[in-house]
Structure 1
Amino acid sequence: MSAVTTSLPPGPQAPPGPAGRRRVLPWAVIALWIVAVAVAVPFVGRLADVQRDENVDYLPESADSTQVVRLQDELPGGEGTELILVYHRDGGLTEADRAVVGERAAGIAEAHALTTEGAPPVIPSEDGTTVMVPFVIGGLAGDEEKSAAVTDVRERAGADLPEGLTAEVGGSGALQHDAEQVFESIDTTLMLFTVAIVAVLLIVTYRSPVLWLLPLLSVGVAAVASLALVYALVQAFDLTVTTMSRSVMTVLLFGAGTDYALLLVARYREELRRHQLPSAAMARALRGCAPALVASAGTVAAGLVCLLAADLNSSSGLGPVGAVGVLCALAVMLTLLPALLVVCGRRVFWPLIPAFGSEGHGRRSVFARLGTSVSRRPVAILTGGVVLMGALALGTLNLPGTLKNEDSFVDAPESVAAMDRLADAYPDRATQPLTVLARTDHAAEVLREAAATPGVAEAEAGRAANGWTEFDVYAVDRAESDGESATIGALRDRLDRVEGADALVGGPSAQQLDLADTNARDRTLVIPLVLVLVFLILAALLRSLVAPAILLAAVVASWGAALGIGGLVFEPLLGLAGLDPSVVLLTFVFCVALGVDYGIFLMHRMREETRNGLDARHAALAALRATGGVIASAGVVLAATFVVLATLPVVNLVEIGLVVAVGVLLDTFLVRTYVVTAAAWLLGRRVWWPGALSRRRLSNERAR
């Protein structure tokens, strides 16, 4: 009988009772999901209203710089919006230029409530080409007011300038405004790109004009449900949802959801050749692959939930947000997608309709040949794979240094250009202050100690209220340099010795320093937690200690190799000037949790083949033949969805997207296909130690 046919063979009539139930159940499931979507849709749009991208939402919860931001909110005018006007003329500023600058500074002081009296100072550069006008606007509540203020300042600063005189607005307030403008376009861009890529890959994979619509529709339903659930979590637990966490959730949901769909559809197609009724084939397909899908989603969700232990607000908030997306994708793929497939019947696979009683052919033969090559040279393949990944991991030695604030965007906005101009024009001084908050009754002593700290150029007292006084402290060295970092450390040490002052050092540079330190601490806590939890889940699923150890070692190696490739391309090829401090931790969690997925699918099928009578070695080859093609497709889809992050204009998302995409591809085509299979071949039934399968000698094994 042909493996592919365009017409269905006639089948016997099913008994009326069970057949009626089989017809009704899929429609009932579809109806329930329609109701769920109808309930969820009104809440989807509200998530944007509670999405937060303030500095404090990306800062460590316990850091000094975070406490400074929170205390500033309680001072008159709240957390000030720090801006710096930068005027420049290549040949040197003229008297007319200086008059214009003074006029604009005075006009801005009249239009906005500055935290200092009178017009802000105009500070010229030594070469006479540039002046900067630093000031802080107080009394602004919420992102909209701050954004409007920055826009107004830019309009006033740049209106009707003499020819040759340029005006730019920098400072942390302008940087925050520009970041929000970038973030506003991310959600829509990311969703459109992701949908387009997934649709194309599904069409190529299924080679059907209809079938691809069902997984894509199911993922869309999962996206709606997850957004509504995340909104509910925000309302119930005040969960922090940032643009980064929502973007990552979108990619995870589409990538993982499509993977689950590919695996289910592949197993369903396989069972349609063995069962005449689609409902019976689907029931068998779910029994066969649902445990692996549940374990896979559970592993990813558990790994993400481990991020709750992180001190960094953006990382800890990402954990439950991502987990919700993955679990919603699982729920939809185990209920709605099966119902849609059963309702549509075999013809949904047209023109490659799997006929009852036919034999399947195609891509799995490629993996059969790969399995044969592994069985012939397992030691050489395992050794070569390990050496290759180790060599690639050496690229981590070339990773760029810590990412600076002004390097956070792929294309520099005006605020970054302004700060670059300041760095060139004022090479020997900081252009943005460190912010110190201390108890007012110790203000004089704190001011004296701050001014006397090595590396400090000047210090001045600012606002005072609620028992706290704010100080602006300027370092000698430029912002976010090693010298300024040393000054921040020295300032904190010196002020800590002022008893009763409770002094805190914050500001943009201190925030970046705290981010790096906190990410380092989070890595030492979260990475071991993820490894232990994933290992326990794998051990429970596979009933073995050896198989989980192999899978974990393999995915950690692929993550190290992917990060090493990042070191070879981030700065040399892509021009990314730094590595975001969160990249190492987040890519580890994603690479390990998602990479283990494919190991679960392979090992679960290997265990199934072993229980069906094959010895461990031949079970490994049979599992590779059965799952190779679909897992390769799933890996390509997942990697492609993460590559979408690399098209966004934010450096940390670009870095996360590229590392995870490369890690998934390495795991799909190198680690799982060669390294894990070769290790399983060499270990034989010992791969299931200490489970019962490790002690079970099968008939074909005894025959050899």
Structure 2
Amino acid sequence: MKQRHPGTAHVPFWLRWLIPVLLVITWLAIAGVGGPTFGRLDEVSSNNQASFLPAGAEATEAQDWQAKFRDSDEIPAVIVVESESAFTPAQLGEAAALKDKLAELQAGSAVIGPIPSEDGSAVQFVVPISSSGEVKEIVQELRQEVQESAPDGMQTFVTGPAGLTADLVSAFAGIDGILLLVALAAVFIILLIVYRSLLLPIAVLFTSVFALCAAILLVFGMAKLGWIQLSGQSQGILSILVIGAATDYALLYVARFREALTHTTNRTSAVLTAWKASFEPILASGATVIIALLCLLFSDLNSNKALGPVAAAGILCSLFAALTLLPALMALLGRAAFWPFRPKLIPETEREPELVTGLEGQKGLWRATGSLVSRRPRAVWVASVLLLLAASAGILQLKANGVPQTDVILTASNAVDGQDALARHFDAGSGSPAVIVADEAKAQEVLDKTKATDGVGDAYLLAEGSVPITGAPGAPSAPDVREGKVLINATLNYAADSSDAENVVVKLREDLKKIDDGALVGGVTATALDTNTTAQRDLIVIIPVVLAVILLILILLLRSVLAPVLLVASVVLSYGAAMGVSALVFNNIFGFPGADATVPLFGFVFLVALGVDYNIFLMSRVREESLKHGTRPGILRGLGVTGGVITSAGVVLAATFAALGVIPIMFLVQLAFIVAFGVLLDTVLVRSLLVPALAYDLGGRIWWPSKLGRLDDDGRASGGARDAKGSLETDLEGAARS
């Protein structure tokens, strides 16, 4: 009778074909619904400033009061018509006629203007636009109308909050298509190089794309129900995060599947073996990132709070896709997935080499790396730490205290040019005044103090309909009073998004509260100020929470205390180095004027959570090998067998985040560089040299206080491969003899 080869035992039909087919059909159905939903995200997405407001800030409270004074949620578009010389009477007449044409567009309430400049070479109009409408389309109509109707030879601009919002929406326009195509193309090329196969990269990409479809469906539902606020920023990060994370998890699973195929001819058995081996590290990795992202719920910024559950939903879908869809595809494809370089069955006598040093069976780059780590572990980890510390010094050059809104968009912008024109001819804060909420009884005192404040060009009480009380004949004389409060508009001498304007707001808040302790100062400038202040507070609150959560997960995974503490310390050091190098690049190469105040926090959450992923992949395998062969051989063995897959995963994740750079928004470009560079730094230096060398230097003590560490120190490592007390020289001699 013919002897059955190990691994060819009969597997039931339902396990070999029925379950994989049902899983694939289920995911096809999810993608069939989620894919078309991608084009509907605009229905539940908002890029206006309200979506970024700090939840408990003074500017938010002031905005709530403003809403009580008006019947609609309008934002102003400021139209500037500029001439190289003073307007002639005829040109002023043409400009005045423009008001009627603007009113016909019915963008909002009454059009204000034309307001001539003191130098006579510009006029401005203020056109209120309902923020609940299609701001981008309305602004485009305004620009077209103004350009066609303005006197010949004039430059025209539509700026102000509405103009800037429209240009911001346009900048995000590529987030649905271009960003995703660039990310997928980069991942596909990398996978082709890594696997030298056609089917496997397609299977991995299917896993990532289907995970994204599921995430979009989930996020759309949460936004539709009002549970979260979705913005273009979080939408772009979601796409990149899901593609990168799902591909990383897939790479880990495929590596274990390929390894299992060298031990059995039964593909179903190989699928289950790979699933069991990769389940714990993938689950721990996903849980780490999900919980770290959910820590953003502790933020007082609406934009951060929204991103937390949005990104966490994406990681959850990536996790499920990698643990269900990909194994199903591998069960159906088997060895054919690796064609034309299919894994070959290794004879049983060659499968588990007797380990003396841990380098047996390794070759090429990872043998050389392991050899370096084993020969000079202390020199390697000390040099790595010093290099990271030196790079971290650059963080002192990071200017993450916010940037003017006009610098956020990196491409040509009519609204940004309009702000410059506005500053040339009018009070720079025109169209974006500071809004003061004051007690009715103290309104005049507050108004007088506001007018007397340095940096305030003009200030006036508002009557019903937000009409200013100027004292001119025919103008209203009684302020609008709601619940005992009045509104005051203060036009600043500085651009609303400048640091000088923020200083004026700080001064107003200090002085006005001495007159009316309930006075509130809001508006565009106050919102930017409160956003930056809140973002800096979030760093202090959220970072310790994220570190504590990651530390706890690592302790549970590795059954150790010392190893998780050292791993967390390594990724924090790596984060500091990434931010230091990024600061130098932003200042000296890209020439950015600064960075958004949320950049350090987002960089931390993504880099630390994702950086720990690679240490989880490495150290979970090291622990597995240490149980068989002892700690030091286990470290070198774990480093060698995970080296290729983790490096590939790091390159994939760096490439996907780098794709964010195609969106011309400063925040996304900066985040793209920080995460891409940081992930590569983590992959190449921290995971390949620092962590293995430090662990090798400590030996069994790395597992303190677990039993594994005590056994190793006593020379009784699980598996009995060697005496753990044996010296490195003895190990190397044994390897040479073998």
TM-score normalised per structure 1:
0.92
Cross-structure match for 2:672? 657
Cross-structure match for 2:170? 181
In structure 1, C-alpha distance between the alignment counterparts of 2:425 and 2:456, rounded to whole Å: 19
1:56 aligns with 2:23: no
Cross-structure match for 1:534? 550
Moved more, 262-271 or 614-623: 614-623
Q: Give, in angstroms, the shift of residue 259 of structure 1.
A: 0.6
In structure 2, C-alpha distance between the alignment counterparts of 1:587 and 1:89, rounded to whole Å: 45
Contact kept, 8 Å, 2:8 with 2:264, in 1: the verdict is: no
Aligned to 2:436, what secondary structure does the other structure show? Answer: strand
Q: Give, in angstroms, the shift of residue 451 of structure 1.
A: 2.0
Cross-structure match for 1:422? 422
In structure 2, C-alpha distance between the alignment counterparts of 1:27 and 1:79, rounded to whole Å: 51
Q: Give, in angstroms, the shift of residue 27 of structure 1.
A: 2.1
Q: Give, in angstroms, the shift of residue 465 of structure 1.
A: 5.9
- Ranges in structure 2 where 5+ consecutive residues have no aligned partner: 352-359, 467-479, 728-738
In structure 2, C-alpha distance between the alignment counterparts of 1:314 and 1:496, rounded to whole Å: 29
Cα deviation, 1:247-278, whole Å, max 9, x if unaligned, reads: 11111100010011111111111110011201
Moved more, 388-397 or 341-350: 388-397
Cα deviation, 1:47-87, whole Å, max 9, x if unaligned, reads: 33112222110111111222333333343342332222223
Q: Give, in angstroms, the shift of residue 219 of structure 1.
A: 1.1
Give the number of equivalent residue pairs: 689
Q: Give, in angstroms, the shift of residue 477 of structure 1.
A: 3.8
Moved more, 692-701 or 458-467: 458-467
In structure 1, C-alpha distance between the alignment counterparts of 2:223 and 2:428, rounded to whole Å: 45
1:687 aligns with 2:702: yes
Cross-structure match for 1:3? none
Q: Give, in angstroms, the shift of residue 543 of structure 1.
A: 1.2
Cross-structure match for 1:455? 455
Cross-structure match for 1:638? 653
In structure 2, C-alpha distance between the alignment counterparts of 1:261 and 1:451, rounded to whole Å: 63
Which AA in structure 2 matches 1:265?
V
In structure 2, C-alpha distance between the alignment counterparts of 1:507 and 1:244, rounded to whole Å: 22
In structure 2, C-alpha distance between the alignment counterparts of 1:96 and 1:571, rounded to whole Å: 48
In structure 1, C-alpha distance between the alignment counterparts of 2:244 and 2:444, rounded to whole Å: 57
In structure 1, C-alpha distance between the alignment counterparts of 2:40 and 2:662, rounded to whole Å: 26
In structure 1, C-alpha distance between the alignment counterparts of 2:499 and 2:199, rounded to whole Å: 58
1:521 aligns with 2:529: no
Contact kept, 8 Å, 1:459 with 1:471, in 2: the verdict is: yes
Contact kept, 8 Å, 1:47 with 1:228, in 2: the verdict is: no
Distance 1:584 1:551, change over 3 A: same
TM-score normalised per structure 2:
0.88
In structure 1, C-alpha distance between the alignment counterparts of 2:481 and 2:126, rounded to whole Å: 19
Which AA in structure 2 matches 1:393?
S
Cross-structure match for 1:104? 98
Q: Give, in angstroms, the shift of residue 166 of structure 1.
A: 1.0
The aligned runs of 1:192-591 (5 Å cut-off) are 192-236=181-225, 238-357=227-346, 365-400=364-399, 402-425=402-425, 432-440=432-440, 442-462=442-462, 463=466, 464=480, 466-467=482-483, 468-499=485-516, 502-591=518-607
Cα deviation, 1:550-609, whole Å, max 9, x if unaligned, reads: 111111111111111211221322232220111110010000000000000111011001
Cross-structure match for 2:128? 137
Aligned to 2:156, what secondary structure does the other structure show? Answer: strand
In structure 2, C-alpha distance between the alignment counterparts of 1:114 and 1:192, rounded to whole Å: 38
Distance 1:79 1:413, change over 3 A: same
Which AA in structure 2 matches 1:550?
L
Cross-structure match for 1:5? none
Cross-structure match for 2:20? 26
In structure 2, C-alpha distance between the alignment counterparts of 1:455 and 1:507, rounded to whole Å: 15
Cα deviation, 1:154-185, whole Å, max 9, x if unaligned, reads: 22322154453211121111111111222233
Which AA in structure 1 matches 2:132?
G
Aligned to 1:157, what secondary structure does the other structure show? Answer: helix
2:686 aligns with one of 671, 676, 679: 671
In structure 1, C-alpha distance between the alignment counterparts of 2:309 and 2:19, rounded to whole Å: 32
Q: Give, in angstroms, the shift of residue 118 of structure 1.
A: 6.2
Q: Give, in angstroms, the shift of residue 431 of structure 1.
A: 6.8
In structure 1, C-alpha distance between the alignment counterparts of 2:74 and 2:439, rounded to whole Å: 19
Distance 1:212 1:110, change over 3 A: closer
In structure 2, C-alpha distance between the alignment counterparts of 1:556 and 1:293, rounded to whole Å: 21
Distance 1:12 1:616, change over 3 A: closer
Q: Give, in angstroms, the shift of residue 362 of structure 1.
A: 11
Which AA in structure 2 matches 1:53?
N
In structure 1, C-alpha distance between the alignment counterparts of 2:305 and 2:697, rounded to whole Å: 40
1:701 aligns with 2:716: no
In structure 1, C-alpha distance between the alignment counterparts of 2:498 and 2:328, rounded to whole Å: 59
Q: Give, in angstroms, the shift of residue 516 of structure 1.
A: 0.7
Distance 1:482 1:226, change over 3 A: closer
In structure 2, C-alpha distance between the alignment counterparts of 1:369 and 1:473, rounded to whole Å: 68
In structure 2, C-alpha distance between the alignment counterparts of 1:578 and 1:426, rounded to whole Å: 26
In structure 1, C-alpha distance between the alignment counterparts of 2:132 and 2:596, rounded to whole Å: 26
Moved more, 460-469 or 295-304: 460-469
Distance 1:110 1:161, change over 3 A: closer
Aligned to 1:142, what secondary structure does the other structure show? Answer: coil
Moved more, 625-634 or 237-246: 237-246
In structure 1, C-alpha distance between the alignment counterparts of 2:701 and 2:667, rounded to whole Å: 42
Q: Give, in angstroms, the shift of residue 142 of structure 1.
A: 1.0
Aligned to 2:78, what secondary structure does the other structure show? Answer: strand
Q: Give, in angstroms, the shift of residue 658 of structure 1.
A: 0.6
Q: Give, in angstroms, the shift of residue 403 of structure 1.
A: 1.1
In structure 1, C-alpha distance between the alignment counterparts of 2:417 and 2:92, rounded to whole Å: 21
Aligned to 1:137, what secondary structure does the other structure show? Answer: strand
Cross-structure match for 2:78? 84
Moved more, 387-396 or 634-643: 387-396
Which AA in structure 2 matches 1:495?
L
Which AA in structure 2 matches 1:151?
Q
In structure 1, C-alpha distance between the alignment counterparts of 2:371 and 2:521, rounded to whole Å: 63
Aligned to 2:157, what secondary structure does the other structure show? Answer: strand
Cross-structure match for 2:735? none
Contact kept, 8 Å, 2:456 with 2:493, in 1: the verdict is: yes
Aligned to 1:222, what secondary structure does the other structure show? Answer: helix
Q: Give, in angstroms, the shift of residue 97 of structure 1.
A: 4.0
Which AA in structure 1 matches 2:458?
E
Contact kept, 8 Å, 1:105 with 1:133, in 2: the verdict is: no
Distance 1:250 1:26, change over 3 A: same
| Identical-pair percentage | 35
Distance 1:117 1:317, change over 3 A: closer
Q: Give, in angstroms, the shift of residue 29 of structure 1.
A: 2.3
Cross-structure match for 1:75? 69
Which AA in structure 2 matches 1:507?
G
In structure 2, C-alpha distance between the alignment counterparts of 1:670 and 1:507, rounded to whole Å: 46
Contact kept, 8 Å, 1:422 with 1:431, in 2: the verdict is: no
- Ranges in structure 1 where 5+ consecutive residues have no aligned partner: 1-8
Cross-structure match for 2:620? 604
In structure 1, C-alpha distance between the alignment counterparts of 2:711 and 2:533, rounded to whole Å: 51
Q: Give, in angstroms, the shift of residue 425 of structure 1.
A: 4.7
Q: In angstroms, what is the RMSD of aligned CA positions?
A: 2.6
In structure 2, C-alpha distance between the alignment counterparts of 1:69 and 1:283, rounded to whole Å: 57
In structure 1, C-alpha distance between the alignment counterparts of 2:123 and 2:392, rounded to whole Å: 45
Cross-structure match for 1:119? 113
